Amino acid sequence: MKRIFALVLAIATFTSLPASAGQSARAVKSSSTSTATWAVSAIGQSQIITYQPYSLTWVVTSGVAYDYFALRNIGSVPISNFFVAINKIRLSGNSNPNEIFFERCVGGIWSVSTNQCSGTVALIASASDASFVFSGINLSIGGEISMRARTQASNRNNFSTTLTTYVSRQDIRGQQVTNS
């Protein structure tokens, strides 16, 4: 019995040798792949990007109050559309938060000192709108939309307004196939 076992072991050993002793050839190369980002941030004047909702705090006792900010493409691809949610919160008093108008200066820039637009003022959102949308635009990488928020003349309560920006996959270019 021992002899048979030894014979089987020897056969198995020798028959397995050629495969393990065979030659093989190898070819190796590397490459890198990186992905894009799509994002818009609302940024107040002289502010840095906080990655938080943009907050405007109003203390309106008389006349009209203004706030100037920019909606900036901080991603790595141009943006065609994006969505901004508006949330108004009463900070004190009993009245409802004041109405806010969001305006864009098209073809020009805002003058903070005179509150004037050198181009054409376009109303983006008004009154009690809960959101506004930019669609069909081509906001380049690093590009900005210069915005102004304006209250009505009022002496209502203190309140704050926050803006939250949303950019989804559908808001940037479609898929592409490239060969090179």
Partner 1 sequence: MIKSTSAKRSWRPFAGAAIIISVAAIAGQSVLASLNATAFNTTAQNINAGTLKLDLANSGNGFGASISNIVPGDVVNRYVTLTNSGTLNGIGLTLKTSQTGTASLITDGTGGVTTKALKLTVTSCSVAWNTSTGACTGTTATELNSTVIGSLTSATPLTNGTMSSSAVKYLQMKIELPDQNETTINGALPSNTVQGGAVDVTYTFDLAQRVATITNS
Binding residues vs partner 1 (CB under 8 A):
18, 22-42, 49-54, 74-77, 164-170, 172-180
Query: Taking the C-alpha atoms of 7, 9, 15 and 16 in order, what is their torsion angle to the nearest 10 degrees?
Result: -170
**Shortest spacing between CB 1 and partner 1, in angstroms:** 32
Residues 126, 9: Cα–Cα separation, whole Å: 88
Partnered with residue 103 across adjacent β-strands are 123, 148
- Token pair for 129: 């709108």
Q: Which is nearer to partner 1, 76 or 126 (CB)?
A: 76
Q: Which is nearer to partner 1, 31 or 114 (CB)?
A: 31
Beta-carbon contacts of 54 under 8 Å, excluding residues fewer than 6 positions away, are: 41, 42, 43, 44, 69, 162, 163, 164, 165
Q: Which is nearer to partner 1, 73 or 151 (CB)?
A: 73
Residues 150, 102: Cα–Cα separation, whole Å: 6
**Shortest spacing between CB 54 and partner 1, in angstroms:** 8
- Token pair for 80: 């065609």
Q: Which is nearer to partner 1, 152 or 162 (CB)?
A: 162
**Shortest spacing between CB 99 and partner 1, in angstroms:** 23
**Shortest spacing between CB 42 and partner 1, in angstroms:** 8
Q: Which amino acid is at 19?
A: A
**Shortest spacing between CB 141 and partner 1, in angstroms:** 10
Q: Which is nearer to partner 1, 4 or 17 (CB)?
A: 17
